[in-house]
Structure 1
Amino acid sequence: MKFGSDKEVLFYYKRYAKQEGFRVIIRRTKRDIDGNAKYVTIACARGGRYYPCHSNLSKPRPTTKTDCKAKVNARLVNGEWVVTSVELVHNHSIVSPKKARFFRSHKNFD
């Protein structure tokens, strides 16, 4: 798939995430010397692991991280954004699409 900008890639994946019932974040962006984005990874918000930064192990904090691998990678090639890889499998339960509109990543989206 090809897009005109990295914002269009983000909009498309957010729209897909909203209809499927999960949250998204921009996991990684690589930029050139001028500061223009040339590579972006948009991933499920439950991706990654929680690393506690406190030493109180008797009161562990709850976390939403489940190391989910769902993501979309896109790269700028000859002025067009091309989706290079897609992983759609989640390792956690998905929320009803009716409730997905309450996620922070989907606020001010419509």
Structure 2
Amino acid sequence: MKVKDFVAGVLTGVAAGLVVNQAIGKMNPNTPAEHVLDAVKDAFKKEGPIDGSWIVMKPEPFTNNVLSMEVYRGGITRIRNGELEQFEFAANSQTGTVVELIQK
């Protein structure tokens, strides 16, 4: 086997890997933060419609007494009984479990 043929094979494999990786990324464009936001929105929708939502895409450190973890911070707004309600939450970045919920 010539070195030239070997290098051509390696480059072809790398190019194919990049194409497959991009195709998989397009099939599931949601990031972990978006999955967490979707789960929180679904929980709120059980009580009624929501008006807006947001999430910070970068996890941040969170400590609550003995627990330390990375969390996504976000918020939900809804109108209930004619009044605007706003909530902010922190959700574990690995499990999506809400570890803090504050009504503003």
Q: TM-score range by the shorter chain?
A: 0.3 to 0.5
* Higher relative contact order (Cα pairs below 8 Å, separated by 6+ residues): 1
Question: Larger C-alpha radius of gyration, 1 or 2?
Answer: 2
* Larger relative strand fraction: 2
* Larger relative helix fraction: 2
TM-score, length of structure 2 as denominator length: 0.38
TM-score, length of structure 1 as denominator length: 0.37
